[in-house]
Structure 1
Amino acid sequence: MTKRIEVAGLNAYYGSHKAVEDISMTMEPRSVTAFIGPSGCGKSTFIRTLNRMHELIPGASVDGSVALDGQDLYGSDIDPVAVRRTVGMVFQRPNPFPTMSIYDNVAAGLKLAGIKRKGDLDAIVERSLRGANLWTEVKDRLNKPGAGLSGGQQQRLCIARAIAVEPQVLLMDEPCSALDPISTLAIEDLIALLKERYTIVIVTHNMQQAARVSDKTAFFNLAGPGQPGKLVEIGDTETIFSAPTEESTADYIAGRFG
């Protein structure tokens, strides 16, 4: 079952510096929520709080709550590693494990989870590569290095690796920023398919991409240099792009700043 994400009063820090302030929002199951806003407004910091990757940075901390179907991910009894298995992440640049084959890249998380039987691994690897729309391109070279694929194929391999462990949520931090237009379109098509099974959150600087792939859009901004990023507004993507409530949202979408 895919999960609803509910964030309430969230603040994120790097040491004593507050990077994002008082964010509250809900991200619905089987939908795509896009985060937009100028560089430095906390979008990538915030998305990393949703699967507890932010706290892996020395000195980083979070207060407030992030709940999956009502369960607080920052509760004292919650295992952060289990959170990151439930809430998968795809990063800005494709990062396949360079010394591993295509097959082993996808199987890596499965093996860590204790799945050892080759028949089980084979089935899940194929299913995950099909889910990432990559199987037909790589099925005859599964033992070749993952790093030997094109950039767009590498990113889809990373998506296959993320979905192999069957998360309920998939976070994507600018997944197309390092890709050419054809590869970008392939990822966008894939997002449309994946949202049937996952709650998807994507950070993007591409306004057209946000408009194409997302159901809801959240606009972030900051008052000035050194100030924390804040959520300005969130709403249906069509409304945010055609009739936003806040003037700053309209100015950003129109390209007047950022």
Structure 2
Amino acid sequence: MAQRIDVKDLNVYYSAFKAVEGVSMSVDPRTVTAFIGPSGCGKSTFLRTLNRMHEVIPGGRVEGSVQLNGRDLYGKDVDPVAVRRTVGMVFQRPNPFPTMSIFDNVAAGMRLNGEKNKKVLQERVEKSLRGANLWNEVKDRLAKPGAGLSGGQQQRLCIARAIAVQPQVLLMDEPCSALDPISTMAIEDLINELKTEFTIVIVTHNMQQAARVSDRTAFFNLAATGKPGKLIEINDTDKIFSNPAEKATEDYISGRFG
């Protein structure tokens, strides 16, 4: 199920403003890649290009290539909605649909894709909630509102919703920034479990989190405010944190700036 991502010479624009410049990288299947860097350096913007989510902002466009197992996600015949089914996303703040039950939150994407079979829906909802390590906590209240769960549970519900449509890649944009340490640990444990099935890319401002959960780490930076963000280096996480190739990476990780 998990697929490889290959990005080559990617520039990201919002109208005339170049937000990200010249990014090339590959992400292997069944790995976790973390994006780190100071605020405003383009890491979340770049993350959103991996499932064309940046296009929902007026003027959002790219130059360059993003391929999933060799298929160009920006090809003329490619439907952005189909891309977002293949490359799922979990956002910074938990965003369960407030008027929907826990069950309906998880089933929403499947129903949108045309699935009507009750047995299939029930089986996939249970599998997804188990996959998000939430089933035992909610199995007796599936008809209750998803918005009634705690913050950490809501984030795991959103992860269950994302994996229910069986994507091949899971993008996470600072998924723990609004959570307490115990909920953060639960999400990190979950990421380690999910990488056996999915290719995972996570944006985080938490250095320790990047070190704990990722196999590879990419450091982004920008020369000055208003300049485009750039990928400074990407390497195995152990190497980035112990012996980075670039001084800017070392300065950021050691807290000298950012």
Secondary structure in 2 matching 1:157? helix
Amino acid at match of 1:15: S
Q: In structure 2, what is the equivalent of residue 215 of structure 1?
A: 215
Residue type of the partner of 2:71? Q
Listed one character per residue, the Cα deviations across residues 208-239 of structure 1 (whole Å, up to 9, x for unaligned) are: 00000000000000001100000000000000
Q: Does 1:188 align with 2:172?
A: no
CA distance in 2, matches of 1:228, 1:184: 31
Is the CA contact 1:90–1:158 (under 8 Å) kept in the aligned structure 2?
yes
1:109 aligns with 2:109: yes
Partner of 1:153: 153
In structure 2, the partner of 1:243 is 243
* Structure-1 residue corresponding to 2:225: 225
Quick one: distance in 2 between partners of 1:60 and 1:235?
Answer: 28
Shift of 1:79: 0.8
> 2:67 — aligned with what?
67
CA RMSD of aligned residues (A): 0.4
Partner of 1:130: 130
Q: Which residue of 2 aligns with 1:51?
A: 51
Distance, in Å, in 2 between the alignment partners of 1:187 and 1:130 is 13
User: How big is each residue's C-alpha offset from its partner over 1:115-139, in whole Å with a ceiling of 9 and x where there is no partner?
Assistant: 1111110000000000000000000
In structure 2, the residue matched to 1:19 is 19
SS of 1:177's equivalent? Answer: coil
TM alignment of 1:67-106, pairs within 5 A: 67-106=67-106
Query: Which deviates more from structure 2 when the two are superposed, residues 57-66 or residues 212-221?
Result: 57-66
Question: Would the aligned equivalents of 1:218 and 1:234 in 2 still touch at CA under 8 Å?
Answer: yes
The answer to whether the 8 A contact 1:55-1:62 is kept is no
Q: Deviations over 1:128-156 (max 9, x none)?
A: 00000000000000000000000000000
Q: Deviations over 1:185-209 (max 9, x none)?
A: 0000000000000000000000000
TM-score normalised according to structure 1 size: 1.00
Give, in angstroms, the shift of residue 63 of structure 1.
1.0
Unaligned runs of 5+ in 1: none
Distance 2:108 2:253 in 1: 40
3-state SS of the aligned residue for 1:224?
coil
For structure 2, the residue ranges without an aligned partner over 5 or more in a row are none
SS state at 2:83 partner: helix
Aligned mates of 1:144, 1:257 — CA distance in 2: 46
SS in 2 for 1:115: coil
Q: How big is the shift at 1:60?
A: 1.1
Q: Tell me if structure 2 keeps the 8 A contact 1:13–1:19.
A: yes
Q: Equivalent residue for 1:176? A: 176
Instruction: State the distance in 1 between where 2:77 and 2:9 align.
Output: 20
Q: Secondary structure at the match of 1:11?
A: strand
CA distance in 1, matches of 2:221, 2:99: 40
Q: Which amino acid aligns with 1:36?
A: I
Q: Percent identity?
A: 77
